[in-house]
Amino acid sequence: MDLFKKCEAHMLADELRDQGIYPYGHALESRPDAEVVMEGKRRIMLGSNNYLGLTAHPAVLAAGQEALQRFGSGCSGSRFLNGTLRMHLELEDELAAFLHQEAAITFSTGFQTNLGAISALVGRHDYVLCDRENHASIYDGCRLSYGTMLRYKHSDMESLERMLQKVPPQAGCLIVTDGVFSMGGDIAKLPEIVALARRYGARVMVDDAHGLGVIGDGGRGTASYFGLEDEVDIYMGTFSKSLASLGGYIAGRARIIDYIRHSARAYIFSASITPVSCATALAALRELRAHPEMVQRLAALSAYLRQGLQARGVRIVDSETPVIPIYTYDALNTLQTARRIYEGGVYVNPVLPPACAPSECLLRCSCMATHSEALLDEAMDIIQAAVSSAAAGSTGAKEEQADD
C-alpha cells in the first residue's frame, strides 16, 4: 500500500472546514498583547500563555533588538560546540538563583526540555510515574526513555500510591507532574506527592511551564507556593509563557544538571537558543524578579474574570490560576461556541480530544497581567452571549426531537 494513502483519506479537519468551524491557525497581524488584530479584526486575547504580558514590554523588546544587532540572528551550532554565548550562561545562572537551585540548563524549546531530561534520567530498569493529564511532552519524554511508564489517575493520590507499589524496590523511580495543569488550571497536589515519594524512595520532577510567574513567592512556581522548594528534585519550565520568549530549562542540583547536560540528546544535538530568545527571556526574568507585583496583579485579574463569568451564569472549572476553562462538553458545541466568541471579538482556545476526554471538551480562557477590568468585562459579555446562544440552540433541538 502507498504510504501516503492515509493522507488522501477524508479527515475530520475537512468536515470542520466545510462547516466553517475549523478552530486552528487563526493568523495574528499584530504582536501578542491583551488586544490583538487577528484576521483583520480587533480581538480581545483570552487564549494566550503570555501571563505577565511581557511580550510587549519595552525592556524585553529592547533586549531582543540589542542582541540581534550584537550577536546576529542565530548561533549556528549546539551548546556543546560553537553555540554557547556568555548570555546563555547568565540566563542559566540567574534562573537557578531565582528558583533557589544550584544550577540550570536551557533547551531550545519547552517540548525538547521534557524529551531530553526525562529520557536522559530514566534508564532501562527505571520507572517513571506520570499523571494522566500531564503535558504531551512529558508523555513523549517517558516513551523515549528506556524505562517503564506507569500512569496514575489525575491528582488521585491513591492511584499514585498503587503505581508506586508496583515499582520493584531495586528500581529507580521518578514521579513527573505538571505543577499547574495546562488545560484545567488546577494545581498539583504537591505536598501529597512529595510525601509519597519520600515514603517509597522516588524522586519528583515538576513541570512548571504554567506555574512560573503565576503562583508562589514572586512567581517562583508550584514548589514555592507550597513551601516545598527543598523537596522537589527537578524543576522544569519554559520561556514561551511568563518569560515572553522561546525555550525551556531544567533546574536542580548541580550534579543532576551536569548529568543531563552530558546525556540529553535533545540538548547535545540541537542548536542553542537564538540570541534574541536568550536575551528576551533574560530580560523578562529580570522584570519578574524586580516586579513581583505583576504576579499579584495577575492573580487579582484572574479572580475578577472567574467571578465575573460565574456572575454571568457561565459554568467554569474553578481554580486559583489564570487558566479558566468553560464547560462545553461535546466537540461540536465547543467548536460552534468558540466560533461565536471569535466572531464577537474574543479569542479563546477550544480544547478537544486528545487533549481531553470526548465528553469533557472545554473552552480554555487565560488571563494576562496587562488586561484591564474594562477589557475583561467586554470579553465576558461576549462570552456570555455566545454561551447563552449555544444553550438556547441545544434546548431548541431537544424540543424538536421531542415533537418528532
Q: At residue 124, what are phi and psi to the nearest 5 degrees?
A: -60, -35
For the chain, the distance separating the N- and C-terminal CA atoms, rounded to the nearest angstrom, is 46
Q: How many CB atoms lie within 10 A of CB 260?
A: 24
Within 13 Å, how many C-alpha atoms sit on residue 143's CB side? 6
Handedness of CA 47, 51, 182, 303 (dihedral sign): negative
User: Does 241 qualify as catalytic in the annotation?
Assistant: yes
Q: Which of 57, 135, 241, 371 is catalytic?
A: 241
How many angstroms separate the Cα of 229 from the Cα of each of 79, 216, 225, 251? 28, 10, 9, 11
Cβ contacts of 229-234, under 8 Å, gap ≥ 24: 229/99, 229/100, 231/194, 231/198, 231/204, 232/190, 232/194, 232/204, 232/205, 232/206, 233/203, 233/204, 233/205, 234/117, 234/121, 234/174, 234/203, 234/204, 234/205, 234/206
Residue 14 and residue 17: Cα distance in Å, rounded?
5
Q: How, if at all, do strands 41-45 and 203-207 pair?
A: unpaired
CA gyration radius for the chain? Answer: 22
Q: Are 130 and 139 in contact (CB under 8 A)?
A: yes
- The whole-angstrom separation of Cα 117 and Cα 237 is 12
Residue 183 carries which DSSP code?
T
Q: Is 210 a catalytic residue?
A: yes
248-252 vs 234-238, strand pairing mode? antiparallel
141 has which bridge partners? Answer: none
Q: Which of 137, 210, 302, 371 is catalytic?
A: 210
Catalytic residue (one of 48, 119, 182, 302): 182
Backbone region of residue 236 per phi and psi (left: phi > 0; alpha: psi in -120 to 50; beta: other values): beta
CB burial of residue 311 (10 Å; 0-12, 13-18, 19+): exposed
Residue with cell 523515549: 144
Q: Which residues form the catalytic set?
A: 182, 210, 241
